[in-house]
Structure formats: structure tokens, C-alpha cells
Structure 1
């Protein structure tokens, strides 16, 4: 290579590069390197650089709580100020993992409280956090904690939140979104937060069952004059007028609620409803055609709009979106339809993130949905919104040409996720091998890729294309793909950067999955649900290697099709075998 230097001169240059930079300068330079992959690469240059990295690293994400121990993490990074810790697999969000799977935060909380002397920010995701855990954390860190995120967690109650609110007077962020919290009728914690904290910037208890009185919320925004983000549970919008007139610094609001169907108040007029002029990101519950006028005076200023929990039909979506030319983030359900996505493409030229979730198939939920998304809407958005970096979409039909359009026009994508619904008996075109190839060849910035389709839509050939053209992808979810073991083997010959792979409804054997895991050199985490299982699971042992935990998650024998729900979880771990496995989790390796 042109950069290599032979002989003693090369060794001398190596010593200069490794040791010739003063520690102060090296630490300052490393402070600007945020990508963990880049930091890891820096730490491998030499032991000295590894030590400087250890002392200067301020944030770490532990993607799997069982992959290491808190003691080991502290020895590696003793000066951490911020930690994000995940436990239960993503599948837990879709009720695919039993509640007793594990994920207790207790051993981490005890060690963090005792030894991580600089820790100011803690983000726990999909973990079980007890009231005792919070009490221990508060006793140790109340004087310095500025951010606490309990993200999709469970096991704690509102008195513990009140303890945090009362004790952590420097707290700037309290995040509880989608957590399951006991004693949810008690909203005294909001009053405690309002009376003990004046620096709060973000409060989020969106999509929880927590009660929130308008009086306490108004007191909160009056006392916390730096509050920028407020995402709450359901609270009637007519009762929040005082809050919005008080919250002059508020930039984001989500939650609230209008009257549910059957409870609407006649002739309620929202045309003159007041939002503070600083508000640019908004999401409202149960908003229907009679209430959407509340948005019209502010639409042109909106940068983010969440319509996932509204009662709007396709035409209502069109009326709102065409008034929002400055949107950067849009979230909706597939009721928006192809027509709505065409309006998005025509109007929202600054759009960076688009999320279209599945609607209510039974028509028994929010409203009778008529919207359908197909290749028409996908092609329109690809051609009309060139700044997209994140795109997650549920479609009822898709073609190779639509996927090729994404690869041609959406060159800035770093995260693309597509789910093909099974609503329609027939789809226009399959297989989609060539479309996937074009998408991956064009979207060279992709780091995360999900493709959940129907059997036959992505063949073994298509999986070969995925492997060949996924040079930079680090996370991948594939559902109902491939025709034989050859498909997963072809994929595993590529994907050099793939760290996390999730598979559902696949046709692959245990042996093929094991061989693929060995061949994917960067793989750190593998989750599979639904595969060709052997009677004993012995073929999985072919993937055995040092520090590689293999667990079999038994299905619920009382549930439908138990064989389909068999799961494999394999991951790198420096902590050894789990000691808290419930009966449904069977460790295969290490055996003891």
C-alpha cells in the first residue's frame, strides 16, 4: 500500500504517531470523535491511546446488558458521564419475549451508584427497574444527575418518580415514554417536580397510563421556564389552554387528547386555540376532522408532526400536510394512503424522517381506515423528498421499480425499513430481488436495514445481493426471506460490518444459522424466531466460540403453533453465562 513504510523508519514513525502527541492534545482531539466505531479503532492503535480513550470517553452505549458486567465497564471507562444500557431484545416491544425473560437493572444500579463518580446521565431501555433501584440511584447521584431516561421500562411506581423529582434538583431531562408504571393515578410527582426543579428542559411520559392534572402541568411550565419538550399522557386539550399560554419557551408537545368518539362536545371550536410561537413539533391524540383546524394557524411553522394517534382519513391528512411545507419529521399510519404520500412529496421538500405505521386492520380501533400504500406512494416520496435520512413504512403492495426509485433518489438514507402487509391476497410483482439490489447499491450511507415481506418475495438470489451490497450496514432485520439454507449462506459471505442480525419466519436450519454466524465476522448479536429446529438443538453448537453465549427460548406450549415461536438468542459476552435465566430460557453455551 502507498501509505506503508518499510524497515526501521516505519517502526520509528509508528512510535512517533503513537507517543509523540501530548496527552492533553490527544484527549482534546478524541473529544471530537463521537462515533463509537471510530473510538474503538483509535483505542487499538496502541496501549497508550487505549488509556487516553478510556479516560476521555464520556458516553458509552451497552447494547446488551448481559454482554459485560458493570465492574468490567468501570475498569475500562472510569470517567463515564453518560451511559445507555439496553437489556431485553427488541422483540419484547412486540410481545414476542415473555415478561420474565430477565433484564433486571439492579446489579447495574448498585455498581453505577457506588463507583461511577462522574455519571450524570443514565438511559435504561427495556429493563426492569425496581423502586429500590431508584432509591439507591437517588441516594448516590441526586446531587449531580441531569438526565434520567427509563425507556420502555417496568417495575417501578409513581412514589419513586416523586423521589427523583424531589431530590434531583439539577435534573434537565426526565424520560418515561412507554414505561409501565404502578400507582399511575397518583400525579403528586408532577407537583414535586414543579416545586423542586427550575432547570427542567424535557419531561416525557408519552404513551404511559400516568394521570396528569392540568393544574399540576400548568404549575410545572410556570416554574420550569426552560422547559422545551413536554410529552404527556391523555389530558383533554380544552383543559390545557392555560398551560400553553404560560409555556412560552415550549418547542415540542405531544399527547393531550380531544373528546373520544361518542363523547364529543357539540360546537366545540378550536379555530382560535393558542399555541406558543416557539412550538414547532406537535402530536395530538384523537384529533378528528372537526378538530384539525387547531393546526392550521401554526402549520407553516411546524417541523415535526405526529399523526399516528388521530382520527383522520386520507383526505384529512392531505389537507393538513399541504399546509406544512417546513416539515422535517412526519409520523402517521398507513391511512395516509398513496394520495397523502403524493402530497407529502409535493409539499415537504425538507423532510428528513418519515415513519408510516400499520393501521387498525379490524376497523375497531381509532377509525374506519381507507388508506392503502403501494409502490405509487413510495415512488412519489423517493422522488420528491431527497433529504430523507430515515424511512420506515408499511405497504400493502410494492414493486422492483419502487425500490429502485428509493436507491436512485434517496441517497441520504441511513435507516430504511419496509414491511409488506398481508392485507392483499396478491401483490403486483415478486420476487423483489432486483429492486433490493438497486436500493442497496444506491443507498450507500445505509447503516440500518429492515425488510419484512412474504415468502417468495426475496429469494436466495436476493439474499446474495443483500450480502454483496450491504458494506456498511450494522443492523439488519429480515422476515420471511429466502428459500433454502443457501440463502443465509450467501448473505453471510458479505455484510462485513453487520453487528446485529434479527430473523423471523425463516426457512433456515440450525446448522445453516450456526455457519452463517461464524462467517459474519463483525456479528455480535443474533436473534431468530421461527426456523427449522432440530429435536435437541445440537446443530446450534456448531457456532460455539469463546465469549459467545447461545440461548434457546422455549415457546409457550399453550399458545398457537409453538414450533413457529422457537427462538435463538446468541451474543458476545465477557460476563459469561447468565445466572438469572427463567425456565423459558435454556442456556446452550456456556454450559456452566
Structure 2
């Protein structure tokens, strides 16, 4: 082996931006481990309980950007009880003590307090970016502390977070006379916004490229804002039914005419068909369009607008666009890479506007398609086989048939062959969510063919423990496995012990796993944390009946930190 000076190795590693690649090169030899350790500036922690914060700083003493994920993904579906944990304080406190040069912090599904944000604001003099995704526990007072003390802030994003509204005074706390803001996202805030303060903030932020407003920003305020933001690349509009609508219409049209750089558009809350012509000036350059918040716009108007968006790569729509609308999308947006179709009706069972025909049309016209999320009432194996044939580049395929356990809508058979075609033809598939009537056969196909699959979500599927065993014996790159309302039990759970060291996490809810099975796994593999969430069952080694009781939820993940010390009463770490 040729040995390079450490300076050369560091220069080479500088071209590696992927966390996975950096981790891999650190395993080559001791010298490369040392160089990679000291040169790493960005660190991703996929589970806040998998490692202690002080270990991260000891390993990477010069990090400048830290990303931490907290609660498991099934928290998005209400499957994690309130008070589960994932508080951000230990991470921010460790950064404040060990890493005063921190510039970026990204937290996902974590509990962030106002005190935590105040500590962050006063601890890092060069702090530039704060991104909170699906977080909770803080208020606009915490945002005010960040805006006041972080004088070099460039990015403040609150994506789908729960924020307690204590007024919009925080908008007035950013630096004066000008800011370095490049991205501001408060679309998740539910309270009123001071339109005058918002306008002044935007006016003194010449570098602003991404602006995502919440639903309470009136239309006339948006119209005036657009006169200051001709360099916007991404915009989430406010409400289209608030403010002086008549006067705002012409101003909004003129404002959009000057937004020649705009590539991403979302929001359009409560917009009606009357407003669609207003946004026509920007459609020719759009690459990302999110229409999932505009249920009141008639599908004919949406389709006409989409037809002019020739450069679209990412499209989010509601299912009232219909199969016919998706057919037109397929013929107009040939560069499409991502499609998400959501139910327009709050009662998803009443949504019947799209079927397998729409998905087939999209696959026929958009052969570059890589990411699909599709809610529908019915699906067939032949449709999925056609999709697999037309779109071999698929990396993520998430299909939700509204009624659990629905068979092939034409033949009445299981959906095994359709999903089997997806995993067989789409060699680069990394994420898969199953839906419909499925037997153990589909899991056999997944284990055999889904070699690059990293995340699998299963619900209401399978016959026996063999199904889960097929997946665990195959899928050599699997990182996350989520299972709910399926018949898999202890035999399947214990059959995967050889896999759990490589698996990042496994979550099971409403399955046939018992407390005894969880104990057996934990005793055999001390490197795992096995968390049982079941308020009705207490752990008692001497009680055989308790060991035979089914657990409601179990969350299993690898860790080098040992059992966590902040587990609430309803969680037992066995």
C-alpha cells in the first residue's frame, strides 16, 4: 500500500461530502482514521440515544455542523406516546462546552425548549444556521433569542414543528440595519404575524433566497413583499383569503412577473381558481411545485397551470386532480423525478379521485421518475408491473391503498406479484412502503431482490413469521424496518439477531411479539436497546404470564451509550 502524507489525505478527503463515505474511509487504517477525525466538519447522528454527545465531540473535535435525529419516524403517525424523550438540551449543552465554533445545528423530531434556544444563542458567536424539523417544546420567545443574539444567522427554518405562539415580536429582533438571512421558514406557525415587521425584515435582507410564510400572512402583505424579493428561488405563500384581496391582485401579478429566478412554489393556502392566473408568470421556470394546500382550486385550473411548467421535477398534488389530470401531467412534465399525491378529503376513505390508471400514465410519460408517494383507493398487479417496467430508476416507492388489505382491484388476488416486480426491476430502490393484501411471498421477493433497500415500512401484511425472516435474511443494506398490525412474533424477532448489529432501528407495533421475546433478545445482544412501550404490563422476571403477554410497541436500536437514563415510566428498557 502506498502511504500518503497526512496533508495529502486530508486534501483528498475534502472532496468527500457523504457521511457514509467519510465513515468508510476512516476504517482504512489508523492514519486515515486520525486525519478523518480531525478534518470532519459535519456530523450526522441518526439516533440521539445511539451515542452520548460527549463521545461525538471527543471523536470530532473540530466539527462545525451537527445534525441530530430524535424520535423514531413512526412518531409522525401518533405511535409514540407523549413524553417519550429526545430532548435537545444534552446536545446543545455539550456543544456549548466543547464546540464554541459550531455554526450549524439541525434537529429532527426532538424536544427543544426556550432555555435550550437561549443557550444556543449566547454560546456560538459564529452561529449561522438553525433548522428544526418536526420539533416541539419551544415558543416564539426562543426564536426571538436566536434572532437577537445570532448576528450572522443565514438560515432559520421551522419545518412542521409545533411552536407556541407568544406574538410575532421575534421578527423585529433580527440585526439592523441589514441581515445576512438567506433562508427563512416559519410556515408551521399558527399565530398572527405582524405584516409591517415582516415587510421591514424582508426589505433589509438582500440575500434572501428562500422564504416560507405561514397561513396568517395576508395577500396584500405578500404582494408588497414580492416587490423586495426579486431574487427569490423558493417561496411558500401566505393565505389567499386574507387581507385586501382586490388591491393585492394586480400587485401580486406584477410581483410574480419580476420573480424570474423562482424555482420552488408552495403554500397557496385557501386559494381559489380565481387566483391561478396570478402565478402564471413564474410557471415556466418552476422545478418544484407543491399544491397540496390548495384543495379549493378546481382541478381544471390546476391542470392548466401544470401544463405550462415544462421544467417540473418535483410535484405534490391532491388526488382531486384525477386520473385524467395525471395523464396530462405525464405528457407535459417529462422531466418529473418526484410525484406525491395526497388525499384531498379529510376523510381519506372518501377520496376516490385517483386509481392505478393515473399512476400508470405518470410512469409512461415520466421515465426519469425516482420518488413516488401515492394515495389511492385501488391498485392492480398489472399496474405495478407496468410502473416497474417504465421506471427502473425508482429509489423510493410508497403506495398507500386507503383500505387496508385491499386485493388486486381486477383479479381479487394478493398484491405480491406487483410489488415483486417493483423490487426486481428497480435495482436502486432504497425506500419501500407496502400496502394492500400481501402474503409472505412478497417478503420472499423483497429478501431476494431488494439488495439496496435501506428502509422498509410494513402494515397489515404477511401470514407467518417466515415473512419477516425472509427480509432479515436478505436485504443486506437494510437500515430501518418499521412494522405494524402484522402477525410477526417472537420467532421472527429472534431470527434476525444476526442482522441487528447492522440495522439502525427496528420498530414493531400491534404485532405478536411478547415481553419474553424482547427479554431474550436483550439478553443475547447487549449492544441493543430494547424499549418496550406498554403501560399495561410491568416487567417481572418471576411472572411467567407477564413474559407471555404481548407488547404494544417495541423499539430496538443499536447503541454505544447503553440504556438511556431519561426513559419515562411507560417505557421499559429490557
> TM-score normalised to the size of structure 2?
0.91
Which of residues 511, 518, 521 in structure 2 aligns to 1:542? 521
- How far has the Cα of 1:104 moved from its partner? 0.7
- How far has the Cα of 1:48 moved from its partner? 1.2
Change (3 A) 1:587 1:128: same
1:154 maps to which residue? 136
- Give CA-to-partner distance per residue, 1:94-117, whole Å, 9 cap, x none: 222112111111111110111024
1:393 maps to which residue? 374
- The 2-side partners of 1:564 and 1:35 are apart by 41
2:285 maps to which residue? 301
Which of residues 257, 260, 269 in structure 2 aligns to 1:285? 269
1:508 maps to which residue? 488
Deviates more, 1:569-578 or 1:188-197: 188-197
- The 1-side partners of 2:152 and 2:280 are apart by 37
Change (3 A) 1:471 1:521: farther
1:70 maps to which residue? 53
- The 1-side partners of 2:152 and 2:143 are apart by 15
The answer to whether 1:244 aligns with 2:232 is no
2:78 maps to which residue? 95
Q: Secondary structure at the match of 1:478?
A: strand
The answer to whether 1:345 aligns with 2:330 is yes
- Give CA-to-partner distance per residue, 1:51-89, whole Å, 9 cap, x none: 111112221211110000011111111111111101111
1:49 maps to which residue? 32
- How far has the Cα of 1:520 moved from its partner? 5.5
The answer to whether 1:25 aligns with 2:8 is yes
The answer to whether 1:497 aligns with 2:483 is no
- How far has the Cα of 1:510 moved from its partner? 2.5
- How far has the Cα of 1:316 moved from its partner? 3.0
Number of equivalenced pairs: 554
Runs of 5+ unmatched residues, structure 1: 1-12, 558-562
> TM-score normalised to the size of structure 1?
0.88
- The 2-side partners of 1:510 and 1:538 are apart by 5
1:441 maps to which residue? 424
1:313 maps to which residue? 298
- The 2-side partners of 1:88 and 1:348 are apart by 36
1:577 maps to which residue? 563
Which of residues 75, 87, 90 in structure 2 aligns to 1:104? 87
- How far has the Cα of 1:221 moved from its partner? 1.6
Runs of 4+ in 1 over 4 A off after TM superposition: 263-271, 423-426
- How far has the Cα of 1:370 moved from its partner? 6.4
Are the counterparts in 2 of residues 165 and 197 from structure 1 also a CA contact under 8 Å? no
The answer to whether 1:126 aligns with 2:109 is yes
Are the counterparts in 2 of residues 177 and 208 from structure 1 also a CA contact under 8 Å? no
- The 1-side partners of 2:326 and 2:380 are apart by 16
- Cα RMSD of the aligned pairs, angstroms, is 2.5
Change (3 A) 1:121 1:331: same
- Give CA-to-partner distance per residue, 1:552-583, whole Å, 9 cap, x none: 112689xxxxx998111000011111111112
Q: Secondary structure at the match of 1:326?
A: coil
- The 2-side partners of 1:225 and 1:517 are apart by 55
- The 2-side partners of 1:111 and 1:444 are apart by 41
- The 2-side partners of 1:226 and 1:438 are apart by 47
- The 2-side partners of 1:247 and 1:469 are apart by 49
Q: Secondary structure at the match of 1:274?
A: helix
- The 1-side partners of 2:351 and 2:197 are apart by 39
Equivalences for residues 94-493 of structure 1 within 5 A? 94-141=77-124, 143-182=125-164, 184-193=165-174, 195=176, 198-234=179-215, 235-259=217-241, 269=249, 272-275=253-256, 276-283=259-266, 284-310=268-294, 311-362=296-347, 372-422=353-403, 427-429=409-411, 430-451=413-434, 453-454=435-436, 457-493=437-473
- Give CA-to-partner distance per residue, 1:2-21, whole Å, 9 cap, x none: xxxxxxxxxxx3xx3xxx11
- How far has the Cα of 1:194 moved from its partner? 5.8
Deviates more, 1:506-515 or 1:484-493: 506-515
Are the counterparts in 2 of residues 514 and 540 from structure 1 also a CA contact under 8 Å? no
Q: Secondary structure at the match of 2:274?
A: coil
